Amino acid sequence: MKTLKFRNSNEEVEVGKLVCVGRNYVKHAEELGNEVPEFPLIFLKPASSLISPEANIIHPEYSTEMHHEVELVLYIGETIKNADDRLAEEAIKGYAVGLDMTLRDVQSNLKKKGHPWTIAKCFDTSAVISEIVEKSEYRLKGDERISLSVNDEEKQNSKLDTMIFSPVNIVKYISTIMTLEKGDLIYTGTPEGVGRVNRGDIISASIENIAEFKINVL
Ligand code: MG
Domains in the chain, start-ordered, CATH in brackets?
3-217 (3.90.850.10)
In angstroms, what is the span from residue 100 Cα to ligand 1's centroid? 5
pLDDT at position 32: 85
Whether the pLDDT of residue 183 is over 90: the answer is yes
pLDDT at residue 95 in the model:
98
User: At residue 75, what is the residue type?
Assistant: Y
Dump strand ranges (E) for the chain.
3-6, 9-14, 18-22, 41-45, 50-51, 66-68, 70-76, 92-100, 102-103, 127-129, 133-134, 145-150, 153-159, 185-187, 195-197, 202-207, 211-216
Beta bridge partners of 20: 43, 187
**Cα of 152 to ligand 1 centre, how many Å?**
21
Query: 137 C-alpha vs ligand 1 centroid, how far in Å?
Result: 26
Q: Give distance in angstroms: CA of 171 to centre of ligand 1.
A: 16
Give distance in angstroms: CA of 104 to centre of ligand 1: 11
> Region 167-193: what's the mean pLDDT?
98
Looking at the predicted structure, is the pLDDT value of residue 36 above 90? no
pLDDT tens sequence across 139-177: 999 999 999 999 999 999 999 999 999 999 999 999 999
Average pLDDT of the chain is: 96
Helix (H, G, I), strand (E, B) or coil at 152: coil
Cα distance between residue 96 and residue 94, in whole Å: 7
Q: How far apart are CA 127 and CA 215, in angstroms?
A: 12
Asked whether residue 1 carries a pLDDT value surpassing 80, the answer given is no
Q: How far is the CA of 10 from the centre of ligand 1 (A)?
A: 29
* pLDDT exceeds cutoff 90 at 37: no
**Tens digits of per-residue pLDDT, 105-127?**
999 999 999 999 999 999 999 99
CA torsion, ordered 117, 167, 48, 200, to nearest 10 deg: 80
How many Å apart are CA 143 and CA 135, to the nearest integer?
A: 16
Per-residue model confidence (pLDDT) at position 113? 97
| Statement: residue 33 has pLDDT above 90 | no
Would you say the pTM of this structure is higher than 0.75? yes
